[in-house]
Amino acid sequence: MIPDVKQKWANSINVVTIGATKEEGGTRSKTVSIGGAATLPFLHFEGKIPHRPVVAMEILDIVPEDWHPLLGSYFSDVWNDPVLWAKKCAGEYGADLICLRLVGCDPDGKNKGAEEAAETVKSVLQGISIPLIIWGCGNNDKDNDILPACSEVSAGEKCLLGSITEDNYKTLVALCKADGHKVIAESPVDINIAKQVNVLATDLGLAAEDIIIYPNSGALGYGLEYVYSIMERGRIAGLGGDTMWAMPILCDIGKEVWKVKETLASEKEIPQWGEQKERGPLWEASTAYVYLLAGADILVMRHPQAVTETKEYINKMMSSE
């Protein structure tokens, strides 16, 4: 008799729903639910995986100064207008969510204020019907200044706000509780710190079902295997009953991939690497594939071709039930 080798897990990953329809108090045409898996990624024979991973496409509130011309060939006609940019990602390239990054508010850059940031958020929400991720500029003090206005103007839409860290979480947690949003919990590729951020947020009264883990994301060839191991350990812990690791996971891929030499070097610089226009999106898609196998539920991406290939991969892996 062949023994039953299926792993039986004590817990399932939390389901997190981003976006709210009119009936739910928002204006989105649909919502996006992630999580809920009762097994490791794509092991359909072992447990239920009710929600597929999704792809968010990244847009900025200013014209990007460091995006590669390969990306500009797709977006330079719209990237001076976040609303048109978001519409193109949603309508033409099939993004499941839009990730609006408020880099224009960085004090070392354009230093836009809270009113401008909130107006951008409002305009993008009015321009698209899919759920929205609102990510600050990365400066803690400035994010604590601009995100309250952004949260207020999007109240009821159940956006995903980013990000809280071990040292900066109180303001954003309070905003999510007050305005009904979800939050990205960021940690520096450390399983214990990732758990601690979630503990701090829930201690302030935020529901565990309103938290998504972001363990930082390296590109293929740049520490990806270490991030993979942290994600896998965390997912196993969550399935095993650790409620502070039973959250869906987000990976911020495009930002990392499009700053490494493998995507930036031209075929003239390193001819043996082949054509850059094929290598760049392939590097991003390959990075995405690895993180999906580690347990990623949301992938934030940039190149439309990489997005298409990644979504095809997700369809293939989710159809093997």
Q: What is the DSSP string of 280-293?
A: HHHHHHHHHHHHHH
Res. 6: pLDDT tops 90: no
Q: Is 100 buried (19+), middle (13-18) or exposed (0-12) by CB count in 10 A?
A: buried
- pLDDT tens figures, 171-192: 999 999 999 999 999 999 999 9
- pLDDT tens figures, 84-137: 999 999 999 999 999 999 999 999 999 999 999 999 999 999 999 999 999 999
Q: How far is CA 2 from CA 6, 45, 46, 317, in A?
A: 12, 16, 16, 26
Percent of the chain with pLDDT over 90: 95
Structural contact between residues 118 and 147, judged by C-beta atoms closer than 8 angstroms: no
Angle between helix axes 224-240 and 191-203 (nearest 10 degrees) is: 50
Cα 14 to Cα 69: distance, rounded to the nearest angstrom: 39
Within 179-297, strands assigned E span: 182-186, 211-214, 250-252
Question: What is the domain partition of the chain in residue ranges?
Answer: 19-318
Q: How far is CA 320 from CA 43, 218, 247, in A?
A: 9, 28, 24
Highest mean pLDDT among 64-68, 101-105, 269-273: 101-105
Q: How many CB atoms lie within 10 A of CB 193?
A: 16
Cα 267 to Cα 253: distance, rounded to the nearest angstrom: 23
Structural contact between residues 239 and 11, judged by C-beta atoms closer than 8 angstroms: yes
Q: How far is CA 196 from CA 1, 29, 272, in A?
A: 45, 35, 45
- pLDDT tens figures, 222-261: 999 999 999 999 999 999 999 999 999 999 999 999 999 9
pLDDT (0 to 100) of residue 124: 98
pLDDT (0 to 100) of residue 44: 94
Question: Candidates 3.40.640.10, 3.40.190.10, 3.20.20.20, 3.40.30.10; correct CATH number of 19-318?
Answer: 3.20.20.20
Radius of gyration of the chain (CA): 19
- pLDDT tens figures, 288-304: 999 999 999 999 999 99
The b/e string for 203-236 (b: 16+ C-beta within 10 A; e otherwise) is eeebeeebbbbbbbbbbbebebeebbebbeebbe
pLDDT (0 to 100) of residue 2: 55
Query: Quick one: average pLDDT of 161-172?
Result: 95
